[in-house]
Amino acid sequence: MTNKQKKQTILIAGATGNIGGGAAVALAKRGARVVLLGRSPDKLKARRNLIRIALSEAQIDYQDTDIAMLVIDFSDMESVKHAAVEAMNRFPMINGLILSVGVLIQKGPNILSNGHEVMFATNVIGPFFFTQLLLKRMQQSDGLVLHVINKSYKEIDWEDLESIRNHETGTAFERTKTCNLVIAAELARRYAGKISSVVIRVQFSFIFI
């Protein structure tokens, strides 16, 4: 691995979950600087400690600065904006963004103070907004956006995009994942040759609330 590869900075949204956490360990072992994104500072610290343990057990030398944390609430657009500004201030180069974000809330719809349904805001709007804010920085390094999406998805109801009028929990969640697919495809089309936008489909990529 070259020095350039070792210094790659990868932001991982949903780093406190199993998929994001596993990706963080794998990337850290390959020498990347991993930036753990999540809503809970305590959970981020716990994940950082697990990564440190994994690296120590693998006898891999690393710097503490190579495992960074960034607090973000994807349902809150002010939090998203603040986190994006902080990321650009702290990291001159952003090579990759892994979006492993997904909440499934059992009873709904739940409307936030900003007027959006909480699952749609967290799973779709927040990650999309965050990506848009980082795009110029990521284009400087031919960056990669990796969208982690659940295997189940439903056709979008364009007349009820956020599943507010006709809300069934599973369907509402699966529609958010379909929106993620649409966004990933459009990013790939619109920014071809500037960034890469890739989808990986997994069995479970959400948190029950």
Tell me how crowded residue 136 is: count the other CB atoms within 10 A of its CB: 10
Assess contact for 151 and 187: CB atoms under 8 A. Answer: no
Q: How do the domains of the chain map onto residue ranges?
A: 3-208
Of 53-67, 72-86, 194-208, give the lowest mean pLDDT range: 194-208
CA angle 76, 82, 88 (to 5 degrees): 135
Mean pLDDT, range 12-31, rounded to an integer: 93
Nearest by Cα to 184 from 78, 120, 97, 95: 97
Say which residue the tokens 């305590």 belong to: 42
Dihedral pair phi/psi, residue 9, rounded to 5°: -105, 120
CATH fold of 3-208 reads Rossmann fold (3.40.50)
Nearest by Cα to 97 from 80, 114, 112: 80
pLDDT at 201: 79
Mean pLDDT, range 97-124, rounded to an integer: 90
pLDDT at 203: 64
Mean pLDDT, range 179-206, rounded to an integer: 86
Query: Would the pLDDT of 103 be above 70?
Result: yes
Of 9-13, 49-53, 160-164, 204-208, give the lowest mean pLDDT range: 204-208
